[in-house]
Amino acid sequence: MDQLYLLATLAGTRIAVETGEVEAVVRLTDVSPVPGMGAHIAGLSALRSRVLTIIDVAALIRGQATPVEQRSLAIIANISGHSYGLMVDGVSDICRVPEGALPLRGQLDAAWAPYARALVEHEGHPWLLVSLAAFIEGGALAQAA
Partner 1 sequence: MDELLQEFISETQETLEALAGEVVAWEADPSDRDRLDAIFRFFHTVKGSCGFLNLPRFERLSHAAEDVLSEIRAGNRRPDPATVSAVLGIMDRIGELTEAVAIGAALPSENDDFLISALSAQGSEAEPAAVQAAPVGVGRPAAAQSVPRTIRLPLSLIDQLMNGVSDMVLARNELSRKLRERSADPELDNVFERLSTCVADMRDVISKTRMQRVDRLFAAIPRMVRDLGRELGKRIDLSLEGGDVEMDREMVEMVVDPLTHIVRNSIDHGIETPEKRRAAGKPETGRLRLEARQSGNQIVIAIADDGAGIDTARLVDKAIADGRLTPDAAARMSEQDRLDLIFHAGLSTAAKVTAISGRGVGMDVVRANVERIGGVIALDNQPGQGLCITLRVPLTLTIIPGLIVRAGGQHFAIPRAAVVEILHDNNETLHVSEVGGAKIATIRAVRHSMVDLEDVLGMAKPVQQGPRAIMVVRSATGVPFAMGVSAVDNHEELVIRPASPLVMATGVYAGMTLPDNGKPMLLLDAAGLANAARLPNIIDDRAARQQEEQADAQTGVEMVAALRFEELSGERRLLKLSLIERVEDIDANLFGRSGGRAFVRLDGRLVPVANGLSQFDRDKVSALRLRDDRREACYPVAAVLDIVQMPAVPDMVAMHGMLSGVAVIEGEHLEVINPFALFAALPEEAMVERVRGRCLLADSNDGWTREILAPLLRQAGHEVLLGLPGDALVDPDDVVLCTEADAAQAAEIMGCRVVHLRASPRPTGPQDGSIYRYDQDALMAAIAGRRG
Does residue 45 touch partner 1 according to CB under 8 A?
yes
Assign 3-state DSSP to the chain and report helix, strand, coil percentages, each to 5. Answer: 15, 50, 35
Which CB atom, from 43 or from 127, has the smaller least distance to partner 1? 43
Does residue 84 touch partner 1 according to CB under 8 A?
yes
* CB 127, min distance to partner 1, A: 26
Applying CB under 8 A, among 4, 24, 46, 68 the residue interacting with partner 1 is 46
- 118 in Cβ contact with 130 (< 8 Å): no
Angstrom distance (rounded) from CA 129 to CA 64: 22
Which CB atom, from 37 or from 111, has the smaller least distance to partner 1? 37
Burial of residue 65 (number of CB atoms within 10 Å: 0-12, 13-18, 19+): middle
Angstrom distance (rounded) from CA 117 to CA 78: 19
Does residue 55 touch partner 1 according to CB under 8 A?
yes
Does residue 32 touch partner 1 according to CB under 8 A?
yes
* CB 31, min distance to partner 1, A: 9
Does residue 132 touch partner 1 according to CB under 8 A?
no
